[in-house]
Amino acid sequence: MSDADGRTVVAPASAQGSSAIAVIQVAGPRAQAMIVGHSGLADAPRCGEVVLTGLHDREGRPVDRVLVACLSEDQPLYEITCHGGVRVVQRIVELFQEAGAVLVDTVELLGQTYRLENPVAAEAYRLLPGALTAKAGRFLLHQAHEGFARVHERLAGASREELSACLAHWPAAKRLLSGMTVAIVGPANAGKSTLLNCLSAHERALVADLPGTTRDYVCSEVEIEGVPVRLFDTAGLGRTADPLAAEARARTIQACEQAEFVVIVLDATATAGLAEQLAECVAIAPVKRLVDDGRAVTVVNKIDSPDRWHELDELDVASPTVEISALTGLNVDGLGRALLDLAGLRELDIRQPCVFAEGQADEVRRVLDRLRDGR
C-alpha cells in the first residue's frame, strides 16, 4: 500500500484505546528500510515470515518488543504487533513518522492493505483468526498476498502444471489449518500415556507401571513442527470379561474411528513378541483400516530398558517404524517427523501457491477439466 506519489505510510490497524496488544501497519517503498532502521534486525522478514524483535528510537532507546510480519513484498507491507497501551502505539507510530512515513487512517488501510477485492485474500483473512499455529498464520498471509492470490488473478490463463501444483498439497494444507487427529493405540502398559505426556510436554494422562491404568481415552492438543495435532491416548486393547475394561475398549475403538492417523505402540520389554502385539492392535477394525490406508506409524517403545527383549527386525510391516523411549524422549522427534511425512506436511512449502479452501479447490478443478477438454 502506497500512494501514486510513492509515499510510505503508517497506520494503527486495530481498534483505538488501551488493550493487551495492538497492530500497526507500515507500507510503501521505504517501509523495509524503516523497519530495519528501528529494530535489531539485519534485514526485514520475507513474505509470510514473523519475527520477534525490539523497536528503538533514533537515540537507540528501547520502545517495545514486537512481532513483525511481512504481508507483501511486491508492494512492501509490514504488520507490527505490539503491546496495546495507548502511549506505546502512539510512540511507535511517531517513530515511523519521524522517519518520513505519512500517517493515514484505518479507512484508507482497508481496501489497499488487505486487498479484500481479491477473494483469495478475503478468505485468508476470514480464516486467519482461527489459525491454530504461527506456521498456519504465515501460510494464510502468504497465500493472501503472494501465493495463490497471484495465481487466482490470472486463473483462466494459468497452465495445467501450475494449477495442478496448487492442488497437490491441498490435503496437507487442510491439516495445517484444522489440525491432524492421531490415535495412540497398543497393548496395556506399552507406554501410550507416557508417550502422550512426552509429546504434550506435561502430564495429561495418569501413568503407572500397571496394566489397565487408562480407562478412557484422553485428548491432548500439541504442536509438531508448527502443525497442530490432536492426540487420543487410549486404553489397552486386550479382550476381557471385566465390564469396565470392556467399556474402555469400546471407547478406544471410538477414538480410532475419529482419528485420521494412528500410532501403534509396542512394548520392547513385553513377554509377547512384537508381531503378536501388533496383531492384537490390527485386529481392531478402525486400526486395520488406517494401517491399510497407509496412515499408521508403528513405534517400538522402551528401547533403553535393560529388560528389553525384542528388536525391530521382528516386524515385517509396510508402515513406517520408529524406535523410541517415551520415558526419556529418545527419538520421539523421529516419531513426529514420521507422522508429518505420512500427512504430506513436510513437503508443504508455505511460500508456494496452494489452495486452502474447498471452494478454491473446486474452482481450480473446474479450470483443469476445461483445459483437459480443450475448451
Angle (nearest 5°) at CA 70 between 67 and 72: 160
Euclidean distance between CA atoms 30 and 2, whole angstroms:
10
Looking at residue 204, its pLDDT comes to 42
Amino acid letter at 225?
A: E
Query: Going by DSSP bridges, is the β-strand pair 218-224/227-233 parallel, antiparallel, or unpaired?
Result: antiparallel
Do the beta carbons of residue 160 and residue 364 sit within 8 Å? Answer: no
Looking at residue 264, its pLDDT comes to 97
**111-130 tens-digit pLDDT:** 555 555 688 988 887 787 78
Backbone φ and ψ of 296, nearest 5°: -135, 145
pLDDT of residue 266 exceeding 70: yes
pLDDT of residue 246 exceeding 80: no
40 compared with 174, residue with greater pLDDT = 174
Reported pTM = 0.69
Do the beta carbons of residue 116 and residue 107 sit within 8 Å? Answer: no
Q: Which three cell numbers stand for residue 306?
A: 535393560
- Identify how many contiguous H helices and E strands the chain contains and give both numbers: 14, 12
DSSP state of 45: P
**41-85 tens-digit pLDDT:** 999 998 878 899 999 999 999 999 999 998 878 778 899 999 988
Looking at residue 115, its pLDDT comes to 52
Average pLDDT over residues 157-184: 96
Q: Which helix (DSSP H) or strand (DSSP E) does residue 178 occupy? A: helix 170-178
Looking at residue 122, its pLDDT comes to 82
Euclidean distance between CA atoms 158 and 152, whole angstroms:
9
Angle (nearest 5°) at CA 97 between 80 and 29: 70
Query: Going by DSSP bridges, is the β-strand pair 102-103/9-12 parallel, antiparallel, or unpaired?
Result: parallel
Average pLDDT over residues 207-226: 62
Give the number of other Cβ atoms within 10 Å of residue 30's Cβ: 19
